Structure 1
Amino acid sequence: MTKFDQQADIRRSIRPPFRGAPVSPTRIGRSCARARVYCLPHAGGAAGMFRTWPELLPTDIEICAVEYPGHGSRLGEPLLETIEQVARSVADLVAAGPSEPYALFGHSMGSLVAFEACHLLAARGSAMPRLLIASGHRAPKAPQSTPPMHAAPHAEFIAHLRQLGATPPEVFRSPDLLELVLPILRADFRACETYRPRDRSKLRIDIAAYGGFCDEDTGRDELLAWQQETTGECVVRMFPGGHFFVLDCADRVVAMLERDLAKAISTEPATPCVTG
């Protein structure tokens, strides 16, 4: 049996009842940490994209990679339909976690999830992250520069995935594997493209917006617009590469994350801002 046959079997057979927390963390790192980083993947992504990060960080920073339902190791579970649903589960996870200082890092779709989770935590009066790192996504209120793709015809959607560059080439060569991942990708794209932020008070935390120099959809101006979402400091960091610069130059991204996190946890935490 080839690995593609195995993937098809997984799709047909793994359909257990949905029980437990809708978002599951994969802890990669150390149990005694000075700080923790919750890492939220892109559309169609899995927690495994962050597996190399602990090797690039000091031993006192823990990576807690979040696995969305229906993705990666949770393939048999139902997909969540909206950014708000995923964010609610992330907020529950964070609120139940240890008390050390923490940051939220989200790439692409993960940026929206992290942003919404911050507002939910603020509304609950929970401990806030010292830093929100929004990677590879325009600010929530910045206009979308490309047409929605979640309902695009098959060929057009595949071409878009190829252009983004994160989907492994073997996926496109295997009908079974493609059949497995396309519903996940379309559902995640729909969640992102139909998301509309509500009018609320600004966050009171620092934001770092990361982007790729060659990302055609998210440039410096779209990243600078994250300043509109907080009363704290907002910095923009640019890296070589396109939309998935986080994979192409992970060492540079993680080094900058370490610097930004160290600065954030060296200051007093902001008072939670109750949002409506």
Structure 2
Amino acid sequence: MSMLGVPSAPTSHTGSVKEPLHLYCLPYAGGSGRVFANWQKLFPPEIKVCCIDYPGHGARRSEPLLDRIDRIADGLAREIASRSHARYVLFGHSMGSLVGFEACHQLARYGAQLPELLAVSGHGGPRVPRSSPPMHAVPDDQFIAHLRELGATPPEILATRELMELLLPLLRADFRACETYEPSWNRKLAVPIAVYGGVDDEDADIAALRGWQSETSGTCVVRMFPGDHFFIADQAEAVASSLLHDLRETGLRS
């Protein structure tokens, strides 16, 4: 199944309309494209929101899980490279930030068209040392306690053994992918970067977010929003508004 998925909601166009800008949205660890299911309504019709599922997630749950960022990103990059896009943008939250970053480098390696903007959210620069110890290999009870602290997984799911037996392999694979990722690229991206963070996110504070500035030869802006690591849930409209602003600032919609 294609990684690029489908738009988050149908869009209709009448008359002569230029090619839409594709906004590929990459979810956090344990998430699927459904995280962005309502995002289309936050953007004008000329921006086509496409929700991404990683292998083993969401609509692709029958596929084998991947526990390496470079392999996940390579699949994404190959699909993007195989399509003819006039314009596109990558937006990733947390794990999705690393997938988007690595995909940009893979696309450059293939000589493919690069995104006009890489927007990363809820994750420090890829070369910034992690502020917390790795969790992907700890015992189940410790891992579940960590998930409870993060707050993204509903308590009723965490308390249901049968559901957690299904979810733990997926979550561990995602955590391993993030916690073992080390960029192998020495060159800077020729792509502007917009960086978004939550003011109460201890694992991605302003100093860590500024680590993205050294990854591009273009512009890099850092914007903060109220909330913790999962601020994009409550701040979706503000994030979309900032993304539109950053698109205009970089001249992408002219």
Shorter-normalised TM range: over 0.9
Q: In structure 2, how many angstroms separate the alpha carbons of the residues matched to 1:223 and 1:103? A: 19
Q: In structure 1, how many angstroms separate the alpha carbons of the residues matched to 2:187 and 2:69? A: 19
Q: CA offsets, 1:153-182, max 9 Å, x none?
A: 222211111111111222113211111111
Q: 2:196 aligns with which of 210, 232, 251?
A: 210
- Give every structure 1 segment of 4 or more consecutive aligned residues whose post-TM-superposition deviation is greater than 4 Å: none
Contact 1:95–1:121 under 8 Å retained in 2: yes
Matched ranges for 1:74-89 at <5 A: 74-89=60-75
Matched ranges for 1:162-201 at <5 A: 162-201=148-187
Letter in 1 for 2:226: P
Q: In structure 2, how many angstroms separate the alpha carbons of the residues matched to 1:203 and 1:177? A: 40
Matched ranges for 1:13-52 at <5 A: 20-21=1-2, 23-29=3-9, 30=11, 33-52=19-38
Q: In structure 2, how many angstroms separate the alpha carbons of the residues matched to 1:47 and 1:244? A: 15
Contact 1:24–1:68 under 8 Å retained in 2: no
Letter in 2 for 1:263: E
Contact 1:133–1:207 under 8 Å retained in 2: yes
Q: Secondary structure at the match of 1:181?
A: helix
Letter in 2 for 1:159: A
TM-score, normalisation: structure 1: 0.86
Residue of structure 1 in register with 2:93 after alignment? 107
Contact 1:140–1:197 under 8 Å retained in 2: yes
Q: In structure 2, how many angstroms separate the alpha carbons of the residues matched to 1:224 and 1:67? A: 28
Quote the offset at 1:202 in angstroms: 0.6
Q: Secondary structure at the match of 1:62?
A: strand
- 1:152 and 2:138 aligned: yes
Q: 2:216 aligns with which of 230, 249, 268?
A: 230
Percent identity, aligned pairs only, is 50
Residue of structure 2 in register with 1:248 after alignment? 234
Number of aligned residues: 248
Letter in 2 for 1:126: A
Q: In structure 2, how many angstroms separate the alpha carbons of the residues matched to 1:189 and 1:45? A: 12
Quote the offset at 1:133 in angstroms: 0.6
Contact 2:4–2:50 under 8 Å retained in 1: no
Letter in 1 for 2:48: E
Q: Structure 1: give runs of 5+ residues left out of the alignment.
A: 1-19, 269-276
Quote the offset at 1:28 in angstroms: 2.1
